[in-house]
Structure 1
Amino acid sequence: MKQISRRGVIRSGGLACLGSVLTACTVTTKGAVTSLTLDVGKVEAYAQAGYNFAQMVLAVPNVVQALGAPAVAVVEVCAKNVLAALDVLEKDAHGSLTVSYNSASVKQAFQSILADFQTVITAATTLLHAQVKGDLSPTVQSRLALGVTAAETIVSLMQAMVSMSSRAEERVPRMSESAALAVLGVRL
């Protein structure tokens, strides 16, 4: 995953927050200090969606045969990492509704959730391509494809929270936030 400098996040993140319809982040400037603030509830929902998506991938019949044991182990680690990053975020938020993004641990937790989400999407896409061998039933294949679309939507929304990079601009979600979260079993 591309590392984003704090200065780059603040510069581009401010534009992302102002230019998007998301209510998940705000930018405040006091003198020369600019703070990017994330909506903890949104990030928690997105992290839970990432965890649920990993569990969806792991529940696919014959997943070990289709992906291989090392890839399945990576998905399992990603699921655990998402929960650990969520714990860090919740700890740093101290029960508040928002948390300042200029905290290094918050930044790392957010980036970890995003990176793990993307890793699981890659594994799920690999699983879908393994369908050529006829390993997945049409029902499982359809559910997994919908899950991938939902996961890609959440990743796109997370990227839009903090970046106006061309990659984030080009990734237009294929479903609404609420639909993506519903597919991944999360209520906001």
Structure 2
Amino acid sequence: MRTKGFTLVELMVVVAIVSLLSSIVSVSLSTARSKGRDAQRITEIRQLQGALELYYLQYGHYPLSLNCNANTPNNLWCNSVESLHYSGVWVRDSGVKGILVPQFITHEPIDPSQTTSVNWPPVGGRTYFYFSDGYGGSGQWYMIVYGLENPNNALESSDGVIAPNGTYFHYGNGINGIITVGRSTR
């Protein structure tokens, strides 16, 4: 006589199928979230570039990155980790904080995965970097270096900045997700 119900084997098969499906959904959600953070990074950096252009139009130079109190990659760079210590601002002009907010941008962007330690080079994100000093034209050019979590982005193959003296900067290698953007007026 057979009773109504499930056998142990049937229950184990159902549990295995549910586990497999939840793993697939979890991986898909994780990928979607990281792509969303990458889209946020790209948008915020473009907004920062717009603010830098407005600053240039008003003052005739881009903010000079010296005296940012950063030591990574060296003291001539500003990085977004500094925002944790300075009320959300990190781009400076010769050491002066808060030069872009609120006149040119509502807030300076912070990487969506920002941590308290600097990540150089910014493989996988977590830190934004700004530089605008030397190379034949202090204040006449700038570059921003940031990383994406998903390295196969078309931006990486079309990015790079040429300083006024002709030096070419491109920190990405086509597979590490590091993006170098900026502008030179010369």
Taking structure 1 as the reference length, what is the TM-score of the superposition? 0.28
Q: Which has the higher contact order (CA 8 A, sep 6+)?
A: 1
Bigger-Rg structure (1/2): 2
Comparing both structures, which one devotes a greater share of its residues to helix?
1
Which protein is richer in strand relative to its size? 2
